[in-house]
Amino acid sequence: MTQPNIRFSRRTLTALAQVISSTRSHTEIDALAYELSREADAVGPNKLSRSISLVQAIEGTCCSDRNDGQLAELIQHVLGDLTEWQRDNSPDVAGLVASLQTDGFAVVDGSLVPTTPPPTSLGREVSILETELESYGFGVAVRHYSQACDNLAEGNFESANGQVRSFLENFFICLCTRMTNKVMTDAKAALQHLYHKKHLDSGEWNTFRGFWDSCQTNGPHHGLSSEREALYRLQLCTAIARYIVSKMK
């Protein structure tokens, strides 16, 4: 979980370090650290550890200053230095861009642009939901949800969609058991039972079962899932789950 006042999640900062490591030589990492006046911070036995140390040092300064501007500048700088081939073909770069989207940012002409006004990041919603799910004992659901987030950040869009489906399936079934004491083995039947017991109204039931039905297609099938679609599914399942959890309080 990222520190207060930092809009970038730990997933994004880890993805940033991976991009620095995979697209730069040791000498180029030295040059980046020198340019940022961070020569003493890029330390470690290999490129990834040096990149992580550099990002962590800048994160620490941003947390102290309660301003993440230096991190934003670093992300834009790293993305701006990429070759066209790296931007189009590197899975690490794709993962960073996808993770930034979950934090509420798009990359437009090398600049970070908030995708929600003001930036109400999905990254914060993700952290809150994971905590809430754990507190209610939905351990299996939260593992699937966290794996969906991780796969999206790594550019594995088919796997992200598959984990969203597994998350919703377990979440709806466990929710039904918790709220009605009825054990179901099918997510659609669980939603139906929650509706019949008046824990969901007709609008909620139709919305949730419609999204569940849509998760049966273009899920973990290779080549059928795009970054935008995977982000949409993660955003919607997050909104649904947070809404339902809020009704349980």
Question: pLDDT: is 3 or 83 the higher one?
Answer: 83
- With 50 as the cut, is the pLDDT of residue 206 above it? yes
Dihedral angle, C-alpha 112, 116, 119, 121, nearest 10 °: -100
Total residue length of the chain:
249
- pTM comes to 0.58
Digit-coded pLDDT (tens) for 191-200: 999 999 999 9
Digit-coded pLDDT (tens) for 79-103: 989 888 988 889 999 889 988 888 8
- Whole-number pLDDT of residue 203: 93
pLDDT band at 123 (very low <50, low <70, confident <90, very high): low
Question: pLDDT: is 244 or 119 the higher one?
Answer: 244
Q: How far apart are alpha carbons 183 and 185 in whole angstroms?
A: 7
- Whole-number pLDDT of residue 119: 40
Six-digit token string for 26: 């040791």
Q: How far apart are alpha carbons 121 and 128 in whole angstroms?
A: 11
- Whole-number pLDDT of residue 117: 45
Q: Name all contacts of 37-40 with Cβ < 8 Å and 24+ positions apart.
A: none
Q: Which residue has the tokens 């470690």?
A: 44
- Whole-number pLDDT of residue 215: 86
Q: Beta partners for 212? A: none
Q: How far apart are alpha carbons 176 and 212 in whole angstroms?
A: 15
Digit-coded pLDDT (tens) for 30-57: 999 999 999 999 999 999 999 999 999 9
Digit-coded pLDDT (tens) for 151-191: 887 778 888 899 999 999 999 999 999 999 999 999 999 99
Which whole number is the average pLDDT over 108-133?
A: 67
Six-digit token string for 222: 């290779």
On whether the CB atoms of residues 105 and 122 are closer than 8 A, the answer is no
**DSSP codes joined into one string, 95-120:** HHHHHHHHTTEEEETTEEEESSSS--
- Whole-number pLDDT of residue 235: 86
- Whole-number pLDDT of residue 219: 53
Q: Which fold has domain 122-248?
A: Four Helix Bundle (Hemerythrin (Met), subunit A) (1.20.120)
How many CA atoms lie within 13 Å of 2's alpha carbon, on the beta-carbon side?
27
SS3 helix, strand, coil % of the chain, rounded to 5? 70, 5, 30
pLDDT > 70: what percent of the chain? 89
